Amino acid sequence: MTTRNSPEAWDQRYAESEMVWSLEPNEFVVEYLSDLPAGKMLDLGGGEGRNALWFASRGWHVENSDFSAVAVTKFLQRAEREGLLELCTGTTVDATHPESCVTKPVDLAVMAYLQIPAADLAAAIATAAHSLRPGGTFFGVWHARENLEYGFGGPPSPELNPTQDELRAACEAVGMNIETLTLRERYFVSGDQQRKAIDAVLLATAAA
């Protein structure tokens, strides 16, 4: 059965639009991670690969993973157009399954707007942790629970918008050390109006 959050539903969504998400990397990815030296990077639930391609353009070897085969294909096609294919791997996997990613260990794991229930999100964060080298970096950004009341956009269900406590517990369960866990305002244009979103931003490191 195809459900709203099934791979089949996302395949259809990605197939219907030239680009579902922005071509540009997430602004918090750029803000928090620009100074890292190039290495190996894994994007979990990376969609069309906007963040992975930004890292590849900076000399990183990247794996963009998503459970939508259409999204992964679009990522690889864009990587080829931009001359970055030799630095890019695309995998069609579920982020909650730690055995499914190809590139291990990595220096950096990124998770941007993977809006799934808390138990599934904890499993995805465990996937990230198990993919990291000792001392590696994990970065995540999500529509926060507070966005439902004070922001715009994102899923309407509370269970799909994590709290800071849920994110902290997921990191602690796999032994990651939290460097930053905070709420950030993000401004964007929707239609002809400027909107504000409330995002949860997390920066953590794997145990050395």
- Which domain covers residue 163, as residue numbers? 7-16+27-205
* 3-state DSSP helix/strand/coil % of the chain, to nearest 5: 35, 30, 35
Is residue 43 a part of any domain in this protein? Answer: yes
pLDDT on residue 100? 63
Q: How far apart are CA 117 and CA 106, in angstroms?
A: 25
- 81 part of a folded domain: yes
Give φ, ψ of 55 to 5 degrees. Answer: -65, -40
pLDDT of residue 190: 78
| Amino acid (one-letter) located at 109 | A
Report yes or no on 70 lying in a domain.
Answer: yes
152: domain CATH number is: 3.40.50.150
Q: Is residue 57 part of a domain?
A: yes
- Token reading at 131: 């993919």
Decide: 22 and 51 in contact? Cβ < 8 Å: no
Question: What pLDDT is stored for residue 99 in this prediction?
Answer: 67
Does some domain include residue 21? no
Instruction: Work out the angle between the directed axes of helices 69-81 and 50-57 (0-180°, nearest 10).
Output: 30
Q: At what angle do helices 69-81 and 7-16 cross, to 10 degrees?
A: 40
**pLDDT tens across the length of the chain (208 residues):** 233 477 788 768 777 777 676 779 999 999 999 999 999 999 999 999 999 999 999 999 999 999 999 999 999 999 999 999 999 999 999 999 866 666 779 999 999 999 999 999 999 999 999 999 999 999 999 999 999 999 998 999 999 999 999 999 999 999 999 999 999 999 988 778 889 999 999 999 999 8
Number of separate domains in the chain:
1
Give the integer Cα–Cα distance in Å for 194 and 208. 43
Q: Looking at the domain assignment, is residue 201 inside a domain? A: yes
Q: Is residue 170 part of a domain?
A: yes
Q: Write the burial class of residue 194 (CB in 10 Å: 0-12 exposed, 13-18 middle, 19+ buried).
A: exposed
Is 1 within the bounds of a domain? Answer: no
